[in-house]
Amino acid sequence: MLVTLKEMADQAADKHYAVPAFNIFGYEDILPVVQAAEAMKAPVILAANLVAVKHMPTPFLAPLMVQAAKQASVPVCVHLDHGKNLESCIEAIEHGFSSVMYDGSQLPLEENIRRTKEIADYAHKHGVSIEAEIGSVGYSDPSIQMKHMLSDPEEVEIFVRETGIDAVAISVGTVHRMEEQAASIDFDLLQRIQDRVSIPLVIHGSSGVPDDQLRKLTTYRVAKINIGTALRMAFGASLRAEIESKPKEFDRIALFQAPMQAVFETAKNKFSILGF
């Protein structure tokens, strides 16, 4: 069933569990992610980032995501990840997304607040949830020029109060696109942030977080944990193995079966780590 992020995250934060938001790039990972959620009887967030919508524009990708959500036997949120402006968020909302994230984390606080509030007002008017980021989660890929800056608890409090967002993404030690589980969460900082705000918290870049720290995050009001690289690595490694072991196979549907199963198993493992 299709639900909003607010419906999903409020309950998760109150009951101390975290819903994984898996970055998807097409049918071949939408399907196994939803199947994994159903197998684990768990809610899930399908998250399309700007890489995904550049590859498959929103008018094509959105119907796949929304239909998968509507047919699922578990709650599914269809979410835009790291929207960079009002236009990208409007496009997602117009095509049926139930949640959007506006990422103004590279802007000065005042400008981030102004733009986020504008998008929050639009989203709420249309019955859609909004997540936004304060502080900045950097990237392990040096070709992506984005500052890494831990969130300041006082700024988080101001940001949440002034924007009216439904969930806030914070920077407490994670890094996007880490291929090894080598991140270290600053749980003291997380606690100080949690003490200042009541809305659900979001952690990005969680593929690089060790399993024990992922589990510990669920004891806080962290309601949404973003996972992308882990699934991409599982799909890519399996696809390479399939091509190498079946050099005469040219049917991509046949070649995609093992990678889709790898995504399914990886997603199930993440659900298990998060307590489902």
| 103 annotated as belonging to a binding site for a ligand | yes
95 assigned binding-site residue:
no
Task: Tell me whether residue 176 is annotated as binding.
Answer: yes
- Give the number of other CB atoms < 10 A from CB of residue 31: 16
Which positions are annotated as active-site residues? 81
Binding region for Zn(2+): 82, 103, 133, 176, 204
Binding-site residue numbers are 82, 103, 133, 176, 204
